[in-house]
Chain A
């Protein structure tokens, strides 16, 4: 098992290096650069040149062939990518080009906001999606089954954008139960420990803060949970149905075990395998969906931040942010692999 974990970790590294390379290259292949994005219509050529020089954008992308001809080995490696990798090896993600704030500093503030939102959405999706799937499978072809499957189909195909706006209209504008956006009301202060406001407010016993935080996160979390919820429900159902037709389930039933026991003790564990995989993959969908959700609900996370950085050609933010997302995605799927090995002994012994 340890060897298996070790192997998995090793295989993640080249992927990460590949990710840095791809992000780096694709950003620079799109036309328009930070200098133009920064100065807009009013830019003069002198200031554009000056910014390019300051940011090192006048250096070659990967390797400087001319320096090699001159025998300048240091100059040969002094390229934009190598500079970036050198900084990265010191865990320095660089400064935002527009705001000049270290990317790491902003990440520390914003990433927890996205994590909080995504985690809560995932929890909602799992605690609703899996039971719905199980009930559907066990009451196959009944009205409950049809209703929940139509419901989950709607969930899967729901445009988050539209759902978010509808939520705001209903709960914030018409009923006035919840605020229309943001993470906290102005004036509410929560001491930051983990930067997850729900947890921080509980730790510090700040009930007012907790209620405020819950009222702000409720709508975006539900909006973001809709798609994974539908997918998980459908996956659980079909996986359960497969397993329920297996011989050993028939044997268990023949032994006279009760329906519930068969369902939860025997069927669910095996049916969980594909569901766990799907949950892992949904981590990516959640992070992608976060861009839209964060935009509609003015949620100060990394989705919207990276999106703005792409438009502003703020390379260090895009590089740092996407790298972090890649790490999270790989990390979640790494956990899924481990979980898989725990659930399915066949994998461990291979």
Chain B
């Protein structure tokens, strides 16, 4: 018995050594095969990543790039390797916008981050490459993005973002591949659903013929219903119905419009915003919505020692949108002017202020409900209490969430009595559930099912306007990729229109900018990389690879100064 155990242990140890060995980094300076890492999961911008990667590799082969496909692991593994700069080659990734402001796309990747901002003179800050994707670091771009973020004038900002897009394009920093309008499929009994490019979809106008309940199918469950501490769309889809921010996005667009606030106006310098609140609004628990509630919600997110800011919670977005917590926060004070007026004082102008406060994250919860639930606010046992058109009813984890109409909603009671969000993890099963009548609408349909849905008389398809960009990134640690001609050669090698036609059909479009056309700052005048294998070969030859490229070198000391 003991002997057997001993052998098992030895075997386990050997196995772990093997795994650790496989995880070890490539020796530096050595030749490695040219590799294209593809994503292990589908995203809106890449609905079938493996097949798309295969098509890209085939295009590249035509232009002399002998590229190997590799699956680095599951999604957290993939993101982890990318974060540590260990996807050594080309890799697929994308971005989905959070608030419709160009800052939210560009600044995250190319702007200054905390440790870059040393000294009082922003023009002298240095963009550090280590922490950013692909290790591309351009101080000019970062400075432009910083200036744009503190400039109140939108036309001036727009010009700066266009300039950034042009630099990124000329540098071939990434190959922008596609934007995809995501389809939602509904039973023809349903009408009035408004898909949002940003923020939660509008459910209050939904009417279901012959039923007072609308059942919506989705691939995954919400994580929690406290929007301040989550980052996933399935949580916001529900909290967006129950809670409201001061501003929201205009139906079908990315433009911030008043919600719980009647107006928010900046001073001339852009450092103070005065928000006049809607009067007579009550939370679902009967308490009043007023200036105190707004201040409570913002302070709770900002102050790490606030009684309801718990250590086990991660306020990812507050930190990202407002520069950090406590003293690092750009919002330095939220001041009560009177019961229905608050003043936000900022440490520096924040151009995307309205777009930020319209995010679902900054929706206002009932302070009384939060205090009563404590750390359990937003969990299935408590749900969320806000001012929205629907009230939380129940949450059976992994199965469904039910919300019901708020008859006293300030914007008028919704048409439908009840909404059930049902989790159906499998894509095919979700579509079958719609056909069987178990659900009346859902998101994330596979291409084959979409064709069926379009042809079916009792179904129809709506599209969510694209606020996403799929791209192919370079690891700048690879010596060959440091030559812009090689990057450009790759950009010309891929038939992106072909990819869109094959994998996204009518819903997708080729990306020429990082910013989708829906966002201002997108530059229409950029001349896209044409699909031209001959030009690609020529560029590759000019860069010193007349026989094509199949192996690349890792540069251990690489720090970009571009």
Contacts and interface: CB of A to CB of B under 8 A. Distances in A.
Interface of A: 14, 18, 22, 25, 29-34, 36-48, 50-51, 54, 95, 98-101, 106, 109-110, 164-165, 168-169, 172-173, 176, 179-183, 186, 295-298, 300, 304-305, 308, 311-313
Contact of B422 (A32, A54, A169, A182): A182
Given A186-B213, A296-B429, A110 B438 contact: no
B124 to A, nearest CB: 23
B452 to A, nearest CB: 11
B79 A173 contact: no
Contact of B398 (A41, A169, A304): A304
Contact of A47 (B19, B20, B319, B398): B319
A32 B437 CA distance: 39
Which of A48, A54, A173, A304 has the most C-beta atoms of chain B within 10 angstroms of its own C-beta? A173
Contacts of B399: 182-183, 298, 300
B449 to A, nearest CB: 12
B160 interface: no
Nearest to B76: A32
A164 B428 CA distance: 11
Contacts of B19: 29
Contacts of B213: 186
A110 B83 CA distance: 35
B75 interface: yes
B432 A31 contact: no
Contacts of B30: none
A30 B402 contact: no
Interface string B61-84: 000000000000111111111010
Is the contact region of chain A dominated by helix, strand, or loop, or is it mixed? helix
Chain B facing A: main interface SS: mixed
Contacts of A47: 314, 316, 319
B307 interface: no
B319 A44 contact: yes
B397 interface: yes
Contacts of B23: 31
Contacts of B95: 41
B84 to A, nearest CB: 9
Contacts of B73: 30-32
Residue from the set B78, B311, B375, B432 with the largest chain A CB neighbour count within 10 Å: B432
Nearest to B8: A18
| Most chain B C-beta atoms within 10 Å of own C-beta, residue among A31, A99, A313 | A31
Contact of B319 (A34, A46, A180, A304): A46
B114 interface: yes
Nearest to B418: A186
Interface string B426-465: 1011001101111000000000000000000000000000
Nearest to B325: A46
Contacts of A40: 79, 231-232
Nearest to A161: B426
B432 A165 contact: yes
Contact of A168 (B108, B312, B432): B432
B400 interface: yes
B10 interface: no
A29 B77 CA distance: 11
